[in-house]
Structure 1
Amino acid sequence: MSAAGFWLSPASWRIWLLCILLVSVVILQLYVQFRLNYWNRDFFNALESRSPAHLKAEALLLIPLAGASILLAVTSVWGRMTVQRKWREWITTHLIDYWIDDGRYTRLTIEDEQTIPEYRIATDARIATDAPVDFALGLVSSLLTAIIFLQVLWTTGGDADFKLFDHQIWIPGYLVGSVIIYSGGVTMVMMLIGAPLTRIIQIKNQTEAELINAANLLRDLGEGLVPELKESDVERGLRGALQNVLTQWRFLCWQLMQTTLVSHGNTLLAPIIGFVLCAPKFLAGTMTLGELTQAAAAFTLVQSSFNWLVDNYSRLADWVSSLERVGGLLLSLDRLNGQTRSVAPAKPEASVAAIKPLP
């Protein structure tokens, strides 16, 4: 079973139509954002010129632009969550069917708590299908945003011409080069700091599953399903599982504090850097107040597009972790399925011993 079964099925044309709608919404949102960028320039130019008529015209123009932006945002949420719901329904149904078929759920051993299928079906399958839709739309939006607003930076920012140690320096499209250097530096720092995040999330998810299994074991003991176990041992295992979860959450908290330091710092600094880079031209009188705000806003949008990885690093790590866990469940079921074909039918106890836990 793979994602191809969902995207290439005979009935998938509806999903593809919905995806086309979502891409169209992204393009329209970017057009509205482009118009708002120029509205921002014209509005501040009107303020600088102290023109009431111009200010009134810009205020009236803002109403349809804001309305269109809100409508497109709402439509995007509906379309995105519809695709995610349909994909989750398909993959979860197939996981359940594969798990139940031929009584595999009775023969899939849980010698290692990492093999718990319930958590993977309920939680990891959701993350594995939700995130790719958001990532795809985010990447398309970031790519188009970078293409569109790089042109704004190039034309609005113009060239830089200054003296350095008695040498005349000329840099064409200096804002474009600046945003590329800045974004590249932030992305490299995030990748270095956030490298352990995927592994930490994997371990955290494993301990969460172990806690669920320990709680279920206590319930089974109360219902008399596992009379061979002692209540004290099961309770000790439950409390130990809770401590493992809390320990991993502490590790995750520390890691997220470091990545947040980079991402939040970037959110605060990027607009300021845009203003600082444009300030000399504004003070020299070669850039209007409207062009200053327009260029600074475009700088922020472009760096945000280039730093898509920075903004989504934590969720990307979470998605990779869930994807591997769903794949691990399928691998165990595949092993069990292959063994069922090659070995003569036997009692469930005979097949349980031969199934290996997930790696």
Structure 2
Amino acid sequence: MATSVTDDQRKGAANLSGFDLDFPAQLRMMGRAFWTSPVRTRLILLSVALLTVILLTAYGQIRLNEWNAPFYNALERRDLDAFLHQLEVFAIIAGLLLLLNVIQTWLNQMTALNMREGLAKDMVDQWLKPGRAARLASFGTISINPDQRLHDDVRNLAESSTALSIGLVNATILLVSFIGVLWSLSAGFAITISGDTYAVPGYMVWAAILYAGSASLLSNLVGYRLVGLNAERYSKEAELRFSLMRASENLAAIALAGGEKNERRRIGIDIDAVLGVIRGLAMALTHLTWVSAGYGWLAVVAPILIAAPVYFSGNLTFGGLMMAVGAFNQVNTALRWYIDNFGPIASWKATLQRVSVFRNALIQMDSVEQHGLTIDLDRNAEHEKIRLRSVTICREAGGQDLER
């Protein structure tokens, strides 16, 4: 005996199965995929190597920042011997940092490669488990263009996850490393107001936090629409690609039926949908650029302006001023990591949503079948014939439904 499934039942089943996931659930879903992946050990080893290189790079950057003081002091004194010696020191530090940069680039690429291998194979394994792909094809929008989710979305998620994770760790280590340097340089700062002196320990740290925090707040206010727009763009791009592929595969039938006009209209609608989303993205990114670029240009003079009171009070030499500027820039760079990556983070969250929800849908297919919302076939060894009851056959061309 067989049971029929209507479109409304399919859509209802998709909702009841709980395919949609909130952000924490998306992370848990992909975390479980990583933990059961055969590339887990390789990724852990690569992560440890990357962390080691990042720590060594941070130490080298601290030494380079300390080098600013004697170098610029030698310039201020017009001391040629000290100047040449500091150039030799710079060559050693810069050479080691260059080597670490090259090693980190290779590790970054290998991490992204292994991340994509594990994620792609896991998604294909989930998709091609017996019966899942066929059942998924009957369940609404979640089944549209699975090839795009398995290819472009998986690639984007692997690459962006690697880049953003490494960037976050690097920014955190830089922040911890240089915030102490910046604090010590401005620890004894005090201001005089109406004859009263007020001590502001580590005021350059607070200035850096205020500077980067205001930029972060403005970026969130201006760029909040980017996550939804990126998710919509991925969906519309996939629909356009599918329409073009279907038209390409059926060119002979389209020409025979004289359906070129209808195909142009249908593909034109898909193109307009993509262009509409891109226009929205362009405006959102343009608005965000006012914040990111504005604060970027201000950063050219901001550290000097902030360190100037200490310098003019006589508590800093010219070399110390340049050292403070370097430390401020490092702290500001670390604090601005989220600001500068707001767009990529939005794109990553949109891709994570598409991949995790698709993976969840594949897993949920097993439970959907148990609810009786697919065609169930009972086999009887005594009869070889298959009898169908209460089955509705719908012809997509627009003919009348035939019931048996």
Q: TM-score, normalised by structure 2?
A: 0.79
Unaligned runs of 5+ in 1: 354-359
Is it true that 1:36 corresponds to 2:27 in the alignment? no
Residue 96 of structure 1 aligns with which residue? 124
1:76 alignment partner, one of 104, 118, 131:
104
CA–CA distance in structure 2, aligned partners of residues 291 and 267 of structure 1: 23
SS in structure 1 at match of 2:192 = strand
Matches within 5 A, 1:127-276: 127-222=156-251, 224=253, 230-276=259-305
CA contact (8 A) 1:110 1:116 kept: no
Letter in 2 for 1:56: L
With over 3 angstroms needed to count, the CA separation of the structure-2 counterparts of 1:239 and 1:129, relative to structure 1, is same
Deviation, 1:103, is: 4.9
Match of 1:25 in 2: 53
> 1:258 deviation in Å?
1.7
- How many residue pairs match? The answer is 351
The structural deviation recorded for 1:226 is 12
Of residues 327, 331, 355, the one that matches 1:302 is 331
In structure 2, the residue corresponding to 1:287 is in which secondary structure?
coil
Q: Classify 1:227/1:30 alpha carbon distance in 2 versus 1 (closer, same or farther; 3 Å).
A: farther
Deviation string 1:317-347 (CA, Å, 9 cap, x unpaired) is 0011001111232233234333345552499
- Counterpart code for 2:65: N
Which runs of 5 or more structure 2 residues have no equivalent in the other structure?
A: 1-28, 379-385, 395-404
Q: Which residue of 2 aligns with 1:357?
A: none
> How far apart are the structure 2 equivalents of 1:17 and 1:113?
35
TM-score, scaled to structure 1: 0.89
Structure 1 or 2: more helix by fraction: 1
Query: 2: distance between equivalents of 1:345 and 1:259?
Result: 56
Contact 1:159 1:174 in 2 (8 A): no
Q: In 2, distance between residues paired with 1:12 and 1:312?
A: 27
Is the 1:183–1:306 contact (alpha carbons within 8 Å) kept by the matching residues of 2? yes
**RCO higher in structure (CA 8 A, sep ≥6):** 2
Distance 1:103 1:9, change over 3 A: closer
Kindly provide the CA deviation profile for residues 183-206 of structure 1, in whole angstroms up to 9, marking residues without a partner as x: 221111111111111011111111
- Tell me the distance in 2 between the aligned counterparts of 1:317 and 1:103: 34
Distance 2:273 2:371 in 1: 39
Q: Distance in 2 between matches of 1:67 and 1:123?
A: 38
Output the CA distance in 2 between the equivalents of 1:282 and 1:8: 56
Q: Distance in 2 between matches of 1:351 and 1:330?
A: 30
The answer (yes or no) to whether the contact 2:112–2:162 under 8 Å persists in 1 is yes
SS at the partner of 2:130? helix
Cα drift, residue 88 of structure 1:
0.9
Farther off after superposition, 106-115 or 162-171: 106-115
Q: In 2, Cα distance between the equivalents of 1:351 and 1:115?
A: 23
User: Is contact 1:154-1:175 (8 Å) kept?
Assistant: yes
1:248 maps to amino acid: V
Write the deviation string for residues 38-67 of structure 1: whole angstroms up to 9, x where unpaired: 112221111011111111111111112111
